[in-house]
Amino acid sequence: MPPVRIRERGRAKKGTMKRLLKQLFKLYPWHLVLVLVCLVFNVFGNISSSIFVSLTTNALVASGEMTYAGTPVNPFVDTYDVVSTFGFTMHTNITSLLIILGCIYFVGIFASWGWNRTMAIVTQSFMNDFRKRMFDHMQDLPIKYFDTHAHGSIMSLYTNDIDTIRQFISQALPSLIQTGLVSIFVFFIMLSTSVWMTLVIVVGFFIMMGVVKGVGGKSSKYFIKQQAALGKVEGDIEESIQGLKVIKVFTHEEKSCEEFDKLNDELRHYATNANIHGNIMMPVMGNIGNFLYILCGIMGALIFAFGWKNLSLSGYAPITNLDQFAGMIALFLMMSRMFANNVNQFSQQLIFIVMGMAGASRCLDLMDEKPETDDGYVYLCNVKYNEDGTFEETEEHTRDYAWKHQHKNGELEYKPLKGDIVLDQVDFSYDGNRLVLEDVSIYAHPGQKIAFVGATGAGKTTITNLINRFYDIADGKIRYDGININKIKKADLRKSLGIVLQDVNLFTGTVMDNIRYGRLDATDEECIKAAKIANAHDFITRLPEGYNTMLSGDGANLSQGQRQLLSIARAAVADAPVMILDEATSSIDTRTEKLVQQGTDQLMEGRTVFVIAHRLSTVQNSNAIMVLDHGHIIERGTHDDLIAQKGVYYNLYTGAFELE
């Protein structure tokens, strides 16, 4: 079954938001409850403040009509009856109302601080956990996944797509909840205040939604394309930096600039359109809100002009006096402004919602990939031999290993690891159609050196990939010390195999760290011993800080030969009983090759070794040489045997044929 492809940008998988929110609530339920409570208090504070402004307006109007013992009422000191827009009466004064209003604002400020602070903690904690789970899952994916997906696309998941999720959680999600709460509360307050004026708001709401769908939809589309174009630009920059020497050697600077300009112009095109539509959204929505504000004022004036005393504008409490009507108009205008602002705010967050769901879909696609299956039940363990020839399992590192097989009845069986590997009539295909290897049989007895020779694409590296179980065979058997490798735990199988590749990967860290990568519990003394075995100790001691010299950029400050020697030292410290050398000397000079050859000879001592080489001089001392051609072994034997046969190997060795 082919792997799930990384989803194209802009296409959000159905149910993505549900999955994302489910994970969010599962990890931080109490934090999100606190955020919701703070949002409710914040919304309540904003709405209540508008209601109390209405009450203050009513109080001011009422105070102008009242006297006490012939003296006008002081609205800030004297208490008197104030009729609210909703029909209830409060015996209070303006000072008391202002104090209550101040307390409401204070609660609103504290609630706003609370949900913003909590949401920042939740967002960063969730992103930290999400990245960890993505990376951990990626480690468990089969090699086939990375062979069929562009590495740049995988990298973009951890940069651009993760950032869109962050924006959704930190900005869009709280805004969506707040907008929903405010809109619901405000709508019912407006409806209870004036049905006719609410109808004006409803009509305006549908107009605003039409603008959101039209302008906002185009804006979202272009923002998504902008993200895709940004990924291409970043990928081109990374590729140009890595290949800068090649660009300069072949004087392709102008061509490189043309290609970058083309990608950059594409980014500019999408970014311009995205920002044009995004930037006009707010003023358009804001002006629609202003028109609604004016229309509500006009509607209130018409109601007043055509006999407000005889009209029941509220479904709950008819307006019966002028001060109540003035408060109603003030309240409704504030509510209409708040409603329009919330719709405008939602339209601004719509882009982050669409982009966040598209990015989350791509990240979840990676997490939905099936991990590498491992049904093995045979483990590798260190053993210590006793004087009588028996051995027992030990935790300390020894050069002696055994396979630990636990049977179903609980009985443990130990089998010494000898390094006997057999491929018996193996067939393999990468795509399930064309066979890369067909009827391949190889026998490597303990301590033997088996060499693979053949042109590029003959199947040499594929054989070593099958021994590692990076891929599973289509037919045949592979046995390790008589055990089918499908029964061996993959981690333990690979732990028993040391590998030196043609392409050396060095990591950011010291030279000592890179050698210790072969076995993380190795001591400094063991790492230095491994470097001496690999003939790397001499050049390491000449580095500025010796073994503590920092390496970066894949060891760019080292020569290819020095990097290869470190790779051999890494394999030496791993001290695996079986070694695989994949064209370890093909990219280095003759002098360094001798050092590498000496290092590998010491490394191979007492081990079963598989060697892949283009330089036939490096495989002459092999116990058996396999000549491959298009997935078939066409010749096999020692160097002398194959020379005597005067076949393909003879022609390759004498220069009559070229490997390529």
pLDDT at 53 over 80: no
Q: Judge contact between 610 and 467, C-beta under 8 A.
A: yes
Judge residue 481's burial from the number of C-beta atoms within 10 Å of its C-beta, 0-12 exposed, 13-18 middle, 19 or more buried. Answer: buried
Which residues share a beta bridge with 414? 404
Dist CA 572 CA 166 (whole Å)? 44
Dist CA 458 CA 317 (whole Å)? 90
What mean pLDDT, rounded, does the chain reach? 78
| Average pLDDT score over residue span 262-272 | 87
Which range scores top for mean pLDDT: 41-45, 226-230, 321-325, 467-471?
467-471
Quickly state the pLDDT bin for 307 (edges 50, 70, 90): low
Dist CA 446 CA 88 (whole Å)? 97
DSSP 602: H
Q: Is 10 left (phi over 0), alpha (psi -120 to 50) or beta?
A: left
pLDDT at 10 over 60: no
DSSP three-state, residue 533 = helix
Domain ranges within the chain, ordered by starting residue? 16-29+116-368, 379-416, 421-654
DSSP assignment of 378-393 equals EEEEEEEE-TTS-EEE
Q: 123 or 588: whose pLDDT is higher?
A: 123
Q: Judge contact between 466 and 478, C-beta under 8 A.
A: yes
Quickly state the pLDDT bin for 593 (edges 50, 70, 90): low
| 16-29+116-368 under CATH 3.40.50.10470, yes or no | no
Which residues, including other chains, have CB under 8 Å from residue 446's CB and lie 6 or more apart? 418, 419, 420, 608
Model pLDDT, residue 294? 77
Dist CA 35 CA 29 (whole Å)? 10
Dist CA 272 CA 219 (whole Å)? 10
- The pTM of this model reads 0.73
Dist CA 608 CA 167 (whole Å)? 54
**Helix, strand, coil % over all residues of the chain, rounded to 5:** 60, 15, 25
CATH code of 421-654, in short, is: 3.40.50.300
DSSP assignment of 72-127 equals E--TTTS-EEEE-TTS-EEEE-HHHHHHHHHHHHHHHHHHHHHHHHHHHHHHHHHH
Model pLDDT, residue 4? 42
Q: Judge contact between 140 and 183, C-beta under 8 A.
A: no
Model pLDDT, residue 478? 92
At 611-660, the pLDDT tens digits run: 887 777 778 888 899 998 888 889 888 888 888 888 888 888 786 454 44
Nearest to 4 by CA among 361, 433, 353, 434: 361
Model pLDDT, residue 67? 44
Quickly state the pLDDT bin for 12 (edges 50, 70, 90): low
Q: Judge contact between 160 and 295, C-beta under 8 A.
A: no
Q: Mean pLDDT check: name the lowest of 104-118, 277-291, 549-563.
A: 277-291
Model pLDDT, residue 245? 67
Q: 276 or 481: whose pLDDT is higher?
A: 481
% the chain with pLDDT above 70: 80
Which residues share a beta bridge with 637? 625
Nearest to 288 by CA among 231, 234, 215, 225: 215
Quickly state the pLDDT bin for 2 (edges 50, 70, 90): very low
Dist CA 243 CA 241 (whole Å)? 5
Q: Helices 322-368 & 217-242, crossing angle to 10 degrees?
A: 40
Backbone angles phi, psi at 218, to 5 degrees: -65, -40
Model pLDDT, residue 79? 61
Query: In Å, what is the CA distance from 32 to each residue of 25, 29, 226, 235, 660?
Result: 7, 5, 32, 37, 63
Which residues, including other chains, have CB under 8 Å from residue 285's CB and lie 6 or more apart? 208, 211, 212, 340, 343, 344, 347
Establish whether domains 16-29+116-368 and 421-654 are of one fold: no
| Average pLDDT score over residue span 218-241 | 75
Model pLDDT, residue 222? 78
643 HSE (CA, 13 A, CB side) = 10
pLDDT at 587 over 60: no
Dist CA 524 CA 449 (whole Å)? 30
Structure-block tokens of residue 176 = 């969506």
Quickly state the pLDDT bin for 319 (edges 50, 70, 90): very low
